[in-house]
Structure 1
Amino acid sequence: MPSGLAALLDDIATIAKVAAASVDDISLAAGKASTKAAGVVIDDTAVTPQYVTGFTPDRELPIIWRIAKGSLVNKLVFILPAALMLSAFLPWLITPILMIGGAYLCFEGAEKIIHKLSPHQDETLKEKFEEVCSKTHEEEMVKGAVRTDFILSAEIMAISLKEVASDYPQIWMQAAALIIVAIGITIAVYGVVGLIVKMDDIGLNLAKRENGGVAKFGRGMVLAMPKLLGALAFIGTAAMLWVGGQIIVHGVGLHPNNWVGMHDGAAAWIADAVISGIIGLAIGGVIAMIYGAAKGKKAG
């Protein structure tokens, strides 16, 4: 009997060691996958603040929370099962689907630029305030942010899956690693976004302090916020074009950095990003023109 109990305990210890090793493997896989997807994560962080700009301070964090929940649903409920199924049964279909998503990002980025450059009547301060305070405006912004997040999340998960699948063929290992990636990246992205949009409030509180240096720093933060949000809006639009264009050109097997004779290092990355962005703008512009013509024809 003791020998049987000892054997059972040995078996339990062995199982525990295997489980611990699996947890380490999953953590390692998730970390490796997150690193590979870092570029798209940065894009996601830059894109999101523009959807929260203009709201009253009391609505900023609730809106970010709604977008974050939508992002988790995107990753865990829709993208993760679909990615695992496609990887197992139709791996060739992943790239075309991502390219369609890339085309949507190009369209959205190009449409923002076209709207910015097109002549239009400026809204009065009262009209802008009424728009921001309207019930439909928040819903539209949240839906738009979650929709854009879906494309970026799909790219993040696809890159992560590709990285994990090469080292871990077991589907349960892939799923566990991707769940960690999805939760970790969502917390990181929307935590940073929340910090960015609340920096003006933090600065305002610091500006009220009695300490002169702290108060001066707080006033500087408040004054810098409009420029920071403007820069992020620009970076977010550029990121849509860059990521969308990159998905498409890489999807057809092209690598723009090779066209200029650069293969490694920061210069190659910049060349790839710039050329992909230009291609993304061209593709998005064409789609925007077609969409505009079809919309006008339907309205007529």
Structure 2
Amino acid sequence: MEHFLKIDRTEILKRFKPMDKFTHKGIQGHALIIGGSYGKAGSVCLASKACLKSGAGLVTAYIPKCSYAIVQTAVPEVMVITDDYMEHIVSIHFSILPQAIGIGIGMGQHPDTQHAFFNFIKMNKIRLVIDADGLNILSQNKEWLGLLPEKTILTPHLKELERLIGAWDSPEDRMEKVKLFSAQFNVIVVIKGAHTQIVDKTMVYENTTGNQSLATAGSGDVLTGIITGLSAQDYSPIDAAILGVYLHGLAADIALPETGYHSFIASDCIAFLGKAFLSLEYI
């Protein structure tokens, strides 16, 4: 049985669902983005905006109080819930019922934040995407991995991955370790990098879009937002990961003639996301 698949346009069109002409924001999915800390409000702005631009009908950001004015000003379409504390998250409580949650971007690793993260994952049953400091906290508390909902999507770059699974001797060794990790905890692992790979137990999907311009601050935050937004729209976790990675890379490819490699920034990925979607719908 084949356990490897290259993700190209043909494979994406098998998974992509055009938006129904009679839909409305109430049925397009509500996504929650949890993160931010003093000096890192931008990560939540990027993730939240990307989440909206992926088609989610509603997006709420859960942030510390210091980020309130920044997020409300930078992304007026996003709703905000603030933590009780000013500079970092110390508890995670909300009354909304989102369809998907993205957590960890810009969150920091303060002991209070780690405690809040533990209490959150202990109770949470909602679809989850974990990135950045969420991954770093898990790597310090690996016994918490068993608390994650099945098919939680983890989006590490190579350094974050090493903290989670340990060092490897070769790319082949790394992949075997990721497969074992995915199977043990029933999670989907998005290994970010040149030719991003998505691992679901023994199955490996390799992306075919993207270029070196994505090696820029905030690029991962944008990806987290896109995948969370697609998850909220009721894509299966694996399809949300595959489609999110493909669109993220495709937006960077479409932007390239205008931005070049050096001048591309994460906000450009969001700006060109519409053209990436259009290429699936009308060409």
- Work out which structure has the larger RCO, using CA pairs closer than 8 Å and 6 or more positions apart in sequence: 1
Q: TM-score, normalised by structure 2?
A: 0.25
Q: TM-score, normalised by structure 1?
A: 0.24
Greater fraction strand: 2
Greater fraction helix: 1
Q: Return the index of the structure with the highest Cα Rg.
A: 1
